[in-house]
Structure 1
Amino acid sequence: MRIATWNVNSVRQRLPHLLAYLKEEAPDALCLQELKCVDAAFPFAEVEAAGYAAAVHGQKGFNGVAILSKAPLEVVRGLPGDEADAQARYIEAVLPWGAGVLRLASIYLPNGNPAGTDKYAYKLAFMDRLAAHAKALLRFEEPLVLAGDYNVIPEPKDCFDPKAWAQDALFLPQTRARFRALLNLGLTDALRATTDAAGVYSFWDYQAGAWQKNNGVRIDHLLLSPQAADRLVSVEVDRRLRGDDKPSDHAPVRIELR
């Protein structure tokens, strides 16, 4: 089972890149974030022609998440815990895997900047809701993958210049503590299960030559339940896509489960 996550930063603009990735890497499932379109504007026909079913939770102009899968999907849209939350940031699906199932979520966690504002309060509240939901899902004792753009830099080695991020909502102590709380539920950061290396990034800003200087951060994560972590074979950041013409500012992160 090959699963990838990718913040495409507008699925319509990045459609040629998306279709090429589906053809070249052929993941069994792909979690997308920042679709920037309503459900009706999602390129269902093109994705289905590439061999994938698509479950979409879109929003006009910004946000939006989706799960593409070669297998049929049973889908739930929205993160529990706040019925008033209208932002399209979470979609969850169950898909068949072998004799059982795999549960997969695509997450677009809030950026939260500037810190000290309602935006940051929403980010922390969202992370608390995610932890509560993850705790509930772990009780199923099934392979679970919580994948997406977390907008969290977990450790100093996950960014090129920690001092530059010291006051950013992605790197504040409260943010990182909540990410650790997720892991402490029994989840495994897939990449960190395979390497302790610094300088492994998934996002490079469009400004100031960040890509050319490798001035990046690691904010796209796949968190695995014990039943999924036991099956982890490999993790790859498909960073070559960041070097394409008119790319997303994120690169896909891909895992293989045996």
Structure 2
Amino acid sequence: MKLATWNVNSLTVRIGQVEDWIKKSQPDLLLLQETKQENIKFPHEAISALGYHAIHNGQKTYNGVAIISRYELFDIQNNIPDFEDEQKRLIAATINTDYGKIRIVCVYVPNGQSVDSEKYHYKLDWLKHFTLWLKNEMVSFPDIIIAGDFNIAPQDIDCHDPEAWKNNILVSPKEREAFQKIIDLGLSDNFRVINPSEIQYSWWDYRMAGFRRNLGMRIDHILTNKNITDKTTNSVIDKEPRKSERPSDHTPVVIEF
């Protein structure tokens, strides 16, 4: 089975790139973030034409998450329960496979803007409530995959210049601590398990020729429980879409298991 996560930074702009990537890569599941479109605008017909099911939790201009799947999607959950938030940042569903049920969770964690901003406190609060909800999900669904744009580089190896970024958003101690609390629920950062010393990134700023100069961060992650981690045969970052004309500033992260 192949699963990928990709922050597309506007599905309206990049639907053609998504269609091309699906045709080329043939994922069983593709999780999208920052679709930036209302549910009524989601391209269900285009996705269905490729042979996939899709669910979407979106809003105009900002945020938005989707799960595209070869499998039918059940037990759909939009947003974090008991956490009042107008921003569309989470969608979850269950798939039935030959190996049993797997819970799929797609997240777009807040960026945080800067460590002295209200948006940073919102990010930490969002992560706190997400972790509490996820703990309960893992009781109900032993096999679970959480994937998306976490807006956190967990270690210095995941940042092109740790000293320059020190104490800034994406790498601040509180964000990394929040990420570790998610891992401590019984999950693994799949890419880092399979590639313990690889220096690769999933996001590059549009400014300062960030991609050409490889000034990147690994902030898009696929977290898996032990059963799925042990069965993982490949975990890669596909940089090809980032080379496209008018690309997203992120690129797909892919696992096979």
Corresponding residue SS for 1:212: coil
Equivalence for 2:216 = 216
Percent of aligned pairs sharing the same letter: 37
The AA in structure 2 aligned to 1:104 is I
In 1, Cα distance between equivalents of 2:55 and 2:213: 36
On the 8 A contact 1:65/1:89 being kept in 2, the answer is: yes
**Residue 157 (str. 1) matches residue 157 (str. 2):** yes
Equivalence for 2:82 = 81
Bigger drift between 223-232 and 172-181 goes to 223-232
On the 8 A contact 2:195/2:235 being kept in 1, the answer is: no
1:70-219 aligned at under 5 Å gives the runs 70-74=70-74, 75-82=76-83, 84-140=84-140, 142-219=142-219
On the 8 A contact 2:10/2:35 being kept in 1, the answer is: yes
Corresponding residue SS for 1:61: coil
On the 8 A contact 2:202/2:251 being kept in 1, the answer is: yes
How far did residue 99 of structure 1 move?
4.4
In 2, Cα distance between equivalents of 1:248 and 1:42: 18
How far did residue 35 of structure 1 move?
0.4
Corresponding residue SS for 2:233: strand
**Residue 42 (str. 1) matches residue 20 (str. 2):** no
How far did residue 141 of structure 1 move?
5.0
Provide Cα deviations, 1:145-203, integer angstroms capped at 9, x if missing partner.
00000000101110111122213221110000111111111110000111122421000
Corresponding residue SS for 1:208: helix
Q: CA, structure 1 residues 38+4, in 2 after alignment: closer, same or farther (shift >3 Å)? A: same
The AA in structure 2 aligned to 1:254 is V
**Residue 32 (str. 1) matches residue 37 (str. 2):** no
Which runs of no fewer than 5 residues in structure 1 stay unpaired? none
Q: CA, structure 1 residues 100+198, in 2 after alignment: closer, same or farther (shift >3 Å)? A: closer
How far did residue 122 of structure 1 move?
0.8
Equivalence for 1:56 = 56
Bigger drift between 7-16 and 140-149 goes to 140-149
In 2, Cα distance between equivalents of 1:32 and 1:199: 23
Equivalence for 1:229 = 229
How far did residue 230 of structure 1 move?
2.3
On the 8 A contact 1:158/1:198 being kept in 2, the answer is: no
Corresponding residue SS for 1:13: helix
Equivalence for 2:66 = 66
Equivalence for 1:8 = 8
Bigger drift between 34-43 and 125-134 goes to 125-134
Corresponding residue SS for 2:82: coil
On the 8 A contact 2:167/2:173 being kept in 1, the answer is: no
Equivalence for 1:247 = 247
In 2, Cα distance between equivalents of 1:26 and 1:86: 33
Runs of 4+ in structure 1 deviating by more than 3 angstroms, as ranges, are none
How far did residue 107 of structure 1 move?
0.3
The alignment's TM-score, normalised by the length of structure 1, stands at 0.96
The AA in structure 1 aligned to 2:77 is V
In 2, Cα distance between equivalents of 1:198 and 1:175: 22
Corresponding residue SS for 2:132: helix
Corresponding residue SS for 2:13: coil
Q: CA, structure 1 residues 102+51, in 2 after alignment: closer, same or farther (shift >3 Å)? A: same
Which runs of no fewer than 5 residues in structure 2 stay unpaired? none
On the 8 A contact 1:103/1:144 being kept in 2, the answer is: yes
Provide Cα deviations, 1:39-83, integer angstroms capped at 9, x if missing partner.
01111111111111110000110100000001110111111231x
